[in-house]
Structure 1
Amino acid sequence: MDTDVLVVGAGPTGLALGIDLARRGVDALVVEKAGRLFPGSRGKGIQPRTMELFDDLGVLDAILAVGGTYPVGMVWQDGERVGEHRMFDPAEATEDSPYNAPWMVPQWRTQEVLYARLEELGGRVSFGREVVGFEQDADGVTVRFTAGPDVRARYVVAADGGRSVVRRTLGVGMTGETVDPNPLLVADARITGLDRDNWHIFPPRGEGAGYLSICPLAGTEDFQVVAQFPEGTSVDLSPGAIREVVAARSHLAPESVTEIRWASDFRPRAALADSFRAGRVFLAGDAAHVHSPAGGQGLNTSVQDAYNLGWKLGAVLRGGAPASLLDTYEEERRPIAATMLGISTGVHRGEVRRGEATRQLGLGYRESSLTEETRTTVNGLHAGDRAPDGKLGDTRLFDAFRGPHWTLVAVGVEAPELPDSVRVIEGEEQESYGKGLFLVRPDGYVGWAGDRADGLGKYLSRFGLR
């Protein structure tokens, strides 16, 4: 084998997976068909649950340093400010949920942060490697490229986007719908004549016209321009055409747009891969599910795919867990992706508010075959739920969870003797946890919960932990 895991695509999904595998000692190679990282701002919203994930992966401080909060929307009409628009339902930060609102970071900058962390851990990305085909057998997968030698890997993860070559080669279909037939332009631009304190919204001028929004991108000098067009329009991405769109739909002159740094167009759609795995090949991120950008769920759901798959690949390849553990990736992530697709579409159509549903803190795996709840009476935290933050004695729980290990939280109950690979935190009754034993998976979800240790050892043996 040339590598244990070949990750196809150096977007947020592939880079996050590369980081997780690197810190577990798994040999992985990330390949990217382009000659550099993606240059656009497209997925700019980091949700609270993803911020918790980034804390664990060691990139949160860097993400906080290069981003900022979302500005208040300002609605314009005929060159006048006519009202504010709150994009998100407010939420207070609490001890168990320290991140309360989305954090704005242009996608290109998120990828730079992830790439730097991957290199810090000794990981690698090979650019200019476009996949053209592969064959898999009982032992591994041989992947071919337009340039360079073949790569032989034990497993392949397709993180190569909504038009995934790997998914199409596998013959896995995507089932979905067009969320909105009206195409959208999205561009990163330098603009004069607008303040950076507001997200500027210009409603359609007349029947059949489209809206324009201009959002200052936190941590940069750029604005993200989004413009909607009537169904069937061929969107012109030239700088001159973008300047004319901005001038026609706002009070700005064409020359106010001083530079176009990146531009793309798309038609909002929602689609879910019919399966997330075929043999030794896994689908993650946009290769497995495509979202409307409304609500900022696509990137977040995608990197959480990587977070779920990373620890399982590590457990199988380095931890002695049975290969059947990898079957639970699709079992756990496909229903989550389906749920988030529904939320994204609902936000796009004005049926769902950006708020509790889009922060992703309530997602979990209660129905998973990896979840064991042994208590007869459960009030509050349940096996399968996200493990909350908080203090237990003098220890902050997220500090204890940080890293590629399992953690036993023993609250008001004596902890049993466990393998060295399981970190144990003990203390008196804790508000978010109540009382009991809570085994927290490497991805921050409670895998097993009980009033006493009966059955805990057997559960751990499922993952090669003895």
Structure 2
Amino acid sequence: MSPSPLNNSTSPETLTRPKKKVIIVGAGPVGLLTAIRLGQENISTLLLEKGDVLHKSSRAVVYNPIVLPLLKSFGVLDAVLAAGYLNTRGATWLNIRDEKLAHLAVESDKPGVFGGVLLLGQARLNDILLDEVRKYPSVEIKFGAGCTGVEHVSDSEGGGVRVMTWQRNNALQDITYEASYVVAADGAGSAVRRCLCVPYEGYTWPDWKMLSTHVQYDFAAEKNYDPITAIVDAKDWALILNTGEDAEGRGCKPEDAVWRVSFGEDPSLPSSKEDYMQRATERVGNHVKKGASYKVVSAEPYYLHQRCAAVARKGRVVFAGDALHANNPSGGLGLTTGICDAYSYSNALCRIINGNEPDALLTECAESRRAAFLSTTNPTSIMNFKRDSDSQDKDAVMFRNMFFGRLNNDPGASREVGKKLQGLLLKGFERPEKAGDGRVGKAVEAVAASGAGSFAEGEPLVGNGEVTPRAIGGVKNEDGETHVNGVGGSKVEGAGNGVLPLNEAPRDSIESEVARLKDDMEVVKGLLKKIAGTVGYS
């Protein structure tokens, strides 16, 4: 019996599989959620993952309240809440002596449903989402299939996109798949983006490398820490979170969970696993009670980026999640923004493929997702990082003091912070809800009803003093398209920022609030300019 092409190591041919409607490259949360929505719509979908199994890295653990109604619309909220820990206490900032600087409460009309910050390791979220994907026969999953090439198919050949993969079978053979559309959700080092020569513009923070550790120590019982606690200090700053998981990544009671302690360090320090563990043990020791017993279970390094793809769509390929954008972890905005990407893109694709709506809808969606990062995620995460790492830049100090002052003196400040994060989802691209179909509904309206923000499509926030957000840190090319270029290069006309600095007391009118914010934004402008100069942009 002659060997099949897949087992014939001498066969030069490249196999081409039957065409799908959509190929998703990358089986992280963004790719898996996109596959779930397409599966619910019975759209033929191929999900390609280069790993032999789902990625088991700790990675993201914080999900802002805006994602909870989105997860509900995907049909996975109950499973996620059962596996994770819903933090309803909010976040607290302390100095190195454990003296409280400020507290951000969770504000919602529906506590326990949308009123909380979800804490759940990304690896466990992936497992839940994969189980859901497997319920839909229209979605095919291929593991061990890394993308090695992408090309658009001419209209004379039927149109669409080809994706070549290198698969770990006996032949290590190239296999090509075709689809009408491709969603690239394959991470910051996206092979799809690189194959299409789309630049990943912005910068990597030059002076910091983050070390993310898992620690067996009950910070809540021993030090009365909130589930999200930031230590603000020039030397020993840290972000400390209850992961809701035990050391093996299994769900557990909050008191039995490992805690994540993340901090920055000099990127030039020795980088062996043993070096990381030794430094992590020493650094974590600065945050536990003197003489207390604790154990660092793991220490994982990663670099900090502020980057965005030059375009969110190229031909029939769209970029989502880290393949589209990357930011530092302060505030938990990275995967939160990626989940918003999955929600918007999958809704738009369903409307185009099953609803016969124009292809231009996908372009609008792609531009909306890139704009959400540039106007909200990027500047907000930069400001969060400067605040939490105790930058002594005079503008950063003024910004921090105003933010903490507002939280401490204005009872409505916490809700206002939540409303400002509405910029993470500028538009949901839902189609008109089908009668009796609860899966494809107006999840964005649920966010508004929950108190997490107003989501009037195409309109700025009303009644909370928001200055209309514009793209931050962009420069326009000859075609008038705005490109992210770090955080410098264009006049800041409004941060679109979840921690926009505010003065001490609330104002009664929208007009006076807007006028006050314009004055405060002068401080933000100065800080952004200095950040840009630090990383070599002007």
Provide TM-score, normalisation by structure 2. Answer: 0.62
Structure 1 residues 55 and 173, CA, compared in 2 at 3 Å: closer, same or farther?
Answer: same
Give the corresponding residue for 2:180.
154
Give the corresponding residue for 1:102.
117
Residues 181 and 267 in structure 1, CA contact (< 8 A), matched pair in contact too: no
Please say if 1:345 is aligned against 2:382.
yes
Residue identity in the other structure for 2:144: G
Structure 1 residues 133 and 76, CA, compared in 2 at 3 Å: closer, same or farther?
Answer: same
Please say if 1:119 is aligned against 2:156.
no
TM superposition shift of 1:308: 0.9
Using the alignment, how far apart are the partners of 1:37 and 1:160 within structure 2?
Answer: 12
Give the corresponding residue for 2:55.
38
Residue identity in the other structure for 1:316: I
Using the alignment, how far apart are the partners of 1:203 and 1:324 within structure 2?
Answer: 46
* SS across alignment from 1:362: helix
TM superposition shift of 1:21: 0.7
Give the corresponding residue for 1:392.
none
Using the alignment, how far apart are the partners of 2:110 and 2:359 within structure 1?
Answer: 37
Q: How does 1:19-98 map to 2 (within 5 A)?
A: 19-70=36-87, 82-84=98-100, 89-94=104-109
Which among 29, 45, 53 is matched to residue 12 of structure 1? 29
Structure 1 residues 259 and 45, CA, compared in 2 at 3 Å: closer, same or farther?
Answer: closer
What is the aligned-residue RMSD (CA, Å)? 3.9
Bigger drift between 145-154 and 65-74 goes to 65-74
TM superposition shift of 1:193: 8.8
Residues 213 and 297 in structure 2, CA contact (< 8 A), matched pair in contact too: no
Residues 44 and 104 in structure 1, CA contact (< 8 A), matched pair in contact too: yes
Which among 260, 266, 269 is matched to residue 233 of structure 1? 269
Using the alignment, how far apart are the partners of 2:310 and 2:124 within structure 1?
Answer: 32
Give the corresponding residue for 1:363.
423
Give the corresponding residue for 1:257.
295
| Residue segments in structure 1 that go unaligned for 5+ positions in a row | 372-383, 388-396, 410-430, 433-443, 449-466
Using the alignment, how far apart are the partners of 1:303 and 1:104 within structure 2?
Answer: 15
* SS across alignment from 1:182: strand
Residues 190 and 223 in structure 1, CA contact (< 8 A), matched pair in contact too: yes
Provide TM-score, normalisation by structure 1. Answer: 0.71
Give the corresponding residue for 1:273.
309
TM superposition shift of 1:67: 1.5
TM superposition shift of 1:94: 1.7
Question: Quick check: which one's helix share is greater?
Answer: 2
Structure 1 residues 399 and 286, CA, compared in 2 at 3 Å: closer, same or farther?
Answer: farther
Deviations 1:267-310 (A, max 9, x none): 22211111011111110111111011111111011111111111
Using the alignment, how far apart are the partners of 1:24 and 1:173 within structure 2?
Answer: 33
Give the corresponding residue for 2:363.
327
Using the alignment, how far apart are the partners of 2:293 and 2:333 within structure 1?
Answer: 34
Residue identity in the other structure for 1:114: L
TM superposition shift of 1:91: 3.9
Using the alignment, how far apart are the partners of 2:211 and 2:377 within structure 1?
Answer: 23
Using the alignment, how far apart are the partners of 1:398 and 1:103 within structure 2?
Answer: 29
Residues 119 and 242 in structure 2, CA contact (< 8 A), matched pair in contact too: no
Residues 213 and 296 in structure 2, CA contact (< 8 A), matched pair in contact too: no
Using the alignment, how far apart are the partners of 2:296 and 2:112 within structure 1?
Answer: 41
* SS across alignment from 1:363: helix
Residues 192 and 258 in structure 1, CA contact (< 8 A), matched pair in contact too: no
Residues 215 and 294 in structure 2, CA contact (< 8 A), matched pair in contact too: no
TM superposition shift of 1:75: 5.2
Residues 184 and 226 in structure 1, CA contact (< 8 A), matched pair in contact too: yes
Give the corresponding residue for 1:176.
202
* SS across alignment from 1:153: strand
Deviations 1:88-111 (A, max 9, x none): 622432269962331111111111
Structure 1 residues 398 and 76, CA, compared in 2 at 3 Å: closer, same or farther?
Answer: farther
Residue identity in the other structure for 1:140: G
Using the alignment, how far apart are the partners of 1:142 and 1:257 within structure 2?
Answer: 48
Please say if 1:140 is aligned against 2:139.
no
* SS across alignment from 1:183: strand
Residue identity in the other structure for 1:266: Y
Question: Quick check: which one's strand share is greater?
Answer: 1
Please say if 1:292 is aligned against 2:339.
no
